[in-house]
Amino acid sequence: MSAVLLSTHGLVARYGDFQALYGVDFEIAAGEVVALIGANGAGKSTLLKSIMGLLRVAPDMVRLDGRPVGGAKPHKMVADGVAIVPEGRRLFTGMSVEDNLRVAIDHAARPREQGWTLERVFGLFPMLREKRATPVQSLSGGQQQMVAIGRALLNQPRLLLCDEISLGLAPKVVREIYQSIPSISQTGTAIVLVEQDVGLAQSASDRLYCMLEGRITLTGRSSDISRDAIGEAYFGASHAVA
């Protein structure tokens, strides 16, 4: 594996008095695709929020290029090369596809020569070129997800955090979106995929982490992990994944 780009060390996160993460150790290298699986409430989205600076954590609990960045503001994380595709997409619904994408271009904190341009996003998702003048609220859920991914890429990330990008989408659309993952990672961008579809997560990733009740219960190379091992880690008991 290449040098570690981002890591967490004994990461603890809370929502008020409720503790959501218990000592999570996680890492990802440049260009690597890592899947993060687990049932609802396992702590997957909380881990992404902690990395992104959306939750307050201790500085040493999150490191980027070996530097402590835990608790840094989200805009600082974006400037350092971390972008997120949030669950629910959170697009500007009164604006067109192109205007939503240009928001990222106009406010990009990293140099544009990092590689992602409007034309390159349209090359990744040709449908968006055809719909560039269409208000995003008129798009299908899958097309909106493509806009959300494109907007994140236009921040020129070194690390792309994807929170449930397949949620609620038809299988054909999910396949189309996941076909873009290798093209993104080949640019050197690392990708974290939060995913509930275990088979999809395993096939799309280099390595996999499973979470249960705020803890990591399994990690390893995706191709080496058995479905029985995943079932036990996912449910906390000896279950095979159906």
- How many other C-beta atoms lie within 10 A of the C-beta of residue 123? 12
pTM of the entire predicted model: 0.91
pLDDT tens digit string along 48-58?
999 999 999 99
Q: Are 190 and 31 in contact (CB under 8 A)?
A: yes
- Name the token pair of 117: 């341009």
Domains of the chain in sequence order: 4-235 (3.40.50.300)
| C-alpha closest to that of 226 among 236, 212, 237, 241 | 241
| C-alpha closest to that of 47 among 199, 166, 181, 159 | 159
pLDDT tens digit string along 18-72?
999 999 999 999 999 999 999 999 999 999 999 999 999 999 999 999 999 999 9
| C-alpha closest to that of 223 among 237, 204, 196 | 204
